[in-house]
Structure 1
Amino acid sequence: MEKIVVICVDDQPEVLNAVLKDLSPLQSAFIIEECDSGDEALAVMDELDAEGHYIGVVISDHIMPGKNGVELLTDVTNDSRFFKTKKVLLTGQATHQDTIAAINQARIESYFEKPWDADTLVNCVRTLLTEYIFDMGFDYQAWGEVLDNTTVLRRLR
């Protein structure tokens, strides 16, 4: 079975821990990696890709020192290795222009304002991982117990 990874990026440990806690229902089937900066996330993604892992979803904070979330997710979008990777932006301080850049440049799939609803976040990530598995042509049945059934049925039609 392919090893699919969810990368979570936030420079604030308490926010990162909250995201990891919210995603804990997915840990039985997916690898959840935490990073505290955009540059670290890109380095981890390089390592995981070299090991043959697949980056299914990247969830990134927007405002971080160094590379911000839109820049990170734009880099992911522009890297052919991660063409099908799904992207989520978390933010508490984005402007209208930031949101437009996230959509147009980073081509994000979802956008959450802080504080977010835990169930909504985990359901979104579950749906995005289901989409990723189908987009990659993997046998979805290997992850059957954690995938979004509505998305599975829609993709099987």
Structure 2
Amino acid sequence: MNKYLILCVDDERDVLDGVIQDLDCFEEHFIVEAAESVAEAKNIISNSIEDHIKLALILCDHIMPEQTGISFLIELSQEAQTKTSRKVLLTGQAGLDDTVEAVNHSSLDYFIAKPWKGNELREVLTEQLTQFMIENEPDLMPWASILDTEKIFNAIADNRVSFGE
């Protein structure tokens, strides 16, 4: 299986630790990294790209010191290496205008309000990662036991039908 990165970005360490703890179920099959700033996140993404590890999903807070989460997600949606990554905003402070801007720039796949519930967060990320794999991974079979099995099998069946035509 190819290696994929899940990156969590939040300037509050306790929030970041909580998110990472909620994502421990993904650590066996994904590289799960945490960043306390956009600059640190950019460094992690750059190093991952050098190591041929694709950014599958980024979970990002909005209000951060040097750059807002939404402007960072918009930036990532315009970069060739991160354009297809699933982008999830986890925040309690993004206003309607900010969120609309992100949606209009096709740089936001999902919005989760703080405080979040661990099981809901895992469900959303499973859904987003399933969609990412269907759109980006040629060999879906290994992901069927890890992500949304039904959607993965449907995508495999659809691919067989389209190749058979």
- Do Structure 1 and Structure 2 share a fold, with TM-score over 0.5? yes
Distance 1:80 1:93 in 2: 29
Pairwise CA distance, 1:106: 5.1
In structure 2, the partner of 1:21 is: 21
Q: Which moved more, 1:56-65 or 1:147-156?
A: 147-156
Structure 1 residues 111-148: Cα deviation after superposition (integer angstroms, max 9, x where no partner):
01100121111111112112111211331222332111
CA distance in 2, matches of 1:27, 1:6: 9
CA contact (8 A) 1:61 1:89 kept: yes
Taking a change above 3 Å as real, the CA distance of residues 106 and 9 of structure 1, as seen in their structure-2 partners, is: farther
- Indicate the structure (1 or 2) with the bigger Cα radius of gyration: 2
Matched ranges for 1:92-107 at <5 A: 92-105=92-105, 107=107
More deviation, 98-107/38-47: 98-107
* Higher alpha-carbon deviation: 56-65 or 142-151: 142-151
**Residue in structure 2 matched with residue 69 of structure 1 by the alignment:** 69
Any unmatched runs of 5+ in structure 2? Answer: 159-165
Secondary structure of the 1:81 match is coil
Moved segments of 4+, more than 4 Å: none
Mean Cα deviation higher: 3-12 or 98-107:
98-107
CA contact under 8 A between 2:144 and 2:152: conserved in structure 1? Answer: no
Q: How far is 1:53 from its partner?
A: 0.4
1:96 and 1:133 map into 2 onto residues whose CA distance is 30
Tell me, in whole angstroms, the C-alpha distance in 1 between the residues paired with 2:71 and 2:146: 30
- TM-score, normalised to structure 1, is 0.94
**Counterpart position of 1:145:** 145
What is the RMSD of the two structures over their aligned residues, measured on CA atoms? 1.3
Q: Structure 2: how far apart are the matches of 1:37 and 1:58?
A: 13
Q: In the TM superposition, what is the alpha-carbon distance from 1:24 to its structure 2 partner?
A: 0.8
Report the Cα distance in structure 1 between the residues aligned to 2:117 and 2:155, rounded to whole angstroms.
26
Could you tell me which residue of structure 1 aligns to residue 39 of structure 2?
39
Aligned length: 157
Structure 1 unmatched ranges of 5 or more: none
Asked if structure 2 preserves the Cα contact closer than 8 Å seen for 1:71 and 1:106, the reply is no
Greater relative contact order (Cα < 8 A, sep 6+)? 1
Counterpart in 1 of 2:161?
Answer: none
Conserved in 2, the CA contact under 8 Å of 1:75 and 1:106? no
